[in-house]
Amino acid sequence: MKLKARALATLPAGKHFDGRGLYLEVAPTGARRWRMKYRHGGKENRLTFGAFPDVSLADARARAGAARNQLSGGTDPAAERKAKRQQQQADALTFSVLRDEWLKLQESALSLTTLTKARWLFAQASALDDVPASQITAPMVLGVLRKVEADGRNETAHRVKQRISQVFRYALATGRAESDPTRDLRGVLQAVKVRSHAAVIDPKPVGDLLRALHAYEGQPTTVAALKLAPLLFVRPGNLRAMEWSELDFDAAEWRIPAGKMKMREAHVVPLAKQALVLLRELKRLTGRGRYCFPSLLTDDRPMSENTVNVALRRLGFDKDTMTGHGFRAMASSLLNELGWAPDVIERQLAHAERNKVRAVYNRAQYMAERRKMMQSWADYLDQLREGGTVVAIKAAKKKRSK
């Protein structure tokens, strides 16, 4: 007996057949769903066509008829439906979807500065955003990278390739990609010319630089950053993101949490007397907010990463002479010349120790020495700035001990 449209709403729980495999399945709860039973390749299978009354009797019959046409042509309609659904899912899994997932996972692993740079690098590959990840090929990625190279940004092209690769490795690990297209691009990009950060490292020019920094007449927070940069010689991103909650004036320490550090390890910067004086003066200006060096536009963000470099340019130091990052090279070079132990200097620079056991030992062993070094370094900078006779205290002690 064929089903009657007017009776469908009152049928009791059970299976009510319309013929040739089509039936309305009524659940004990009253829910009604159209289904079709069929055989293909000697195996019984079922299709679902939707719920009644959203799918009418006429619609259900039409869908069943289409499925029977597929069967007569040798196609399993359930397998065809599954393949179509998988293709739709693959088309929806664009590069931007995977990229955003990967970035979300990195929020607890990367510092804010590194995460911001990663987003900027991905922006250089925006042409891939709406492309299904399964359709992205090595030539497609190379086309994106060649455009970056065309602007003379070879190093940026390599970094963009690295970030794209990280996203595809994540997709591979989660079973949503079969390959990493960047693997086929090894040796294809133009080589990067390694350039160290520009820095003033000779004592006399350093004295000139320090005098210029102390004579700068810009924003008070910028002046403070310029004066603190050589004293602390931390990475520029760490300096501008310094927070008042990280400072312990009684212990004379700046404790940078692991989340802000490049190597993901908490770092302590001993504060010399000169640094403490500058920070106390700065606290009167910005101490009510979160950041020691807030943005001029809002207290919710730190100052721009270009602030110190722009100030250096205004003082007459071009990018080939001195940069904000150059204060680290300056300190490293001069402290080595002054006779301080390389391991102590490297630890204060927060360079990673490859030997993990030795790293734990060094953190405890070198703290007292680092405190002495940071105060001696501040005193040394004062001497250079004042133009007086400079005595290499550490080196002099070593010579006397021989």
| Annotated domain spans of the chain | 5-87, 95-185, 203-401
Cα 130 from chain centroid (whole Å): 21
Q: DSSP character for 218? A: S
Query: How confident is the model over 190-227, as pLDDT tens digits?
Result: 876 655 556 777 888 899 999 999 999 889 999 999 99
Whether 85 shows a pLDDT value over 50: the answer reads yes
How many residues would you count in the chain?
402
SS (H, E, C) 50-106: EEECCCCHHHHHHHHHHHHHHHHCCCCHHHHHHHHHHHHHHHHCEHHHHHHHHHHHH
User: How far is residue 379's CA from residue 397's CA, in Å, rounded to a whole number?
Assistant: 16
Beta bridge partners of 302: 294
Whether 87 shows a pLDDT value over 70: the answer reads no
Whether 369 shows a pLDDT value over 60: the answer reads yes
In this structure, are residues 298 and 291 in contact, taking their beta carbons and an 8 Å threshold?
no
| Mean per-residue pLDDT, 92-111 | 85
Measured CA angle at 208 (ends 280, 220), to 5 deg:
30
- The closest of 348, 159, 88, 381 to 238, measured between CA atoms, is 348
State the pLDDT confidence band at 400, using cuts at 50, 70 and 90: very low
Query: How confident is the model over 21-41, as pLDDT tens digits?
Result: 899 999 999 999 999 999 888
pLDDT of residue 144: 93
Whether 16 shows a pLDDT value over 90: the answer reads yes
Whether 391 shows a pLDDT value over 60: the answer reads no
Neighbours of 117 (CB within 10 A): 16
Domain 95-185 - what CATH class? mainly alpha
Whether 175 shows a pLDDT value over 70: the answer reads yes
Q: DSSP character for 41? A: T
Whether 380 shows a pLDDT value over 70: the answer reads yes
Whether 360 shows a pLDDT value over 60: the answer reads no
pTM as predicted? 0.55
Query: How confident is the model over 161-170, as pLDDT tens digits?
Result: 999 999 999 9
Catalytic amino acids? 235, 262, 325, 328, 351, 361
pLDDT of residue 399: 40
* Minimum mean pLDDT range among 75-79, 126-130, 345-349, 350-354: 350-354
In this structure, are residues 296 and 290 in contact, taking their beta carbons and an 8 Å threshold?
no
| Residue 133 structure tokens | 């990840």
User: Counting beta carbons within 10 angstroms of the beta carbon of residue 136, is it exposed (0 to 12), middle (13 to 18) or buried (19 or more)?
Assistant: buried
Whether 395 shows a pLDDT value over 70: the answer reads no
Q: Please say whether the structural domain 203-401 has been given the CATH code 1.10.443.10.
A: yes
Element (H or E) spanning 23, and its range? strand 22-26
* Minimum mean pLDDT range among 67-71, 109-113, 222-226, 235-239: 109-113
pLDDT of residue 174: 87
Reading across the β-sheet that carries 253-256, which strands appear in turn? 247-248, 253-256, 267-270
Whether 248 shows a pLDDT value over 70: the answer reads yes
| 5-87: CATH number | 3.30.160.390
| Residue 42 structure tokens | 């000697």
* Residue reference for tokens 């003379």: 152
Whole-number average pLDDT of the chain:
85
Per-residue burial over 70-105, b = 16 or more CB atoms within 10 Å of its CB, e = otherwise: beeeeebbbeeeeeeeeeeeeeebbbbbbbebbbee
- The closest of 49, 53, 50 to 8, measured between CA atoms, is 53
State the pLDDT confidence band at 111, using cuts at 50, 70 and 90: confident
* Minimum mean pLDDT range among 155-169, 214-228, 259-273, 368-382: 259-273
Give the best-scoring range by mean pLDDT among 62-71, 241-250, 363-372: 241-250
Q: Which has the higher per-residue pLDDT, 231 or 262?
A: 231
User: How far is residue 165's CA from residue 144's CA, in Å, rounded to a whole number?
Assistant: 13
| Mean per-residue pLDDT, 90-104 | 84
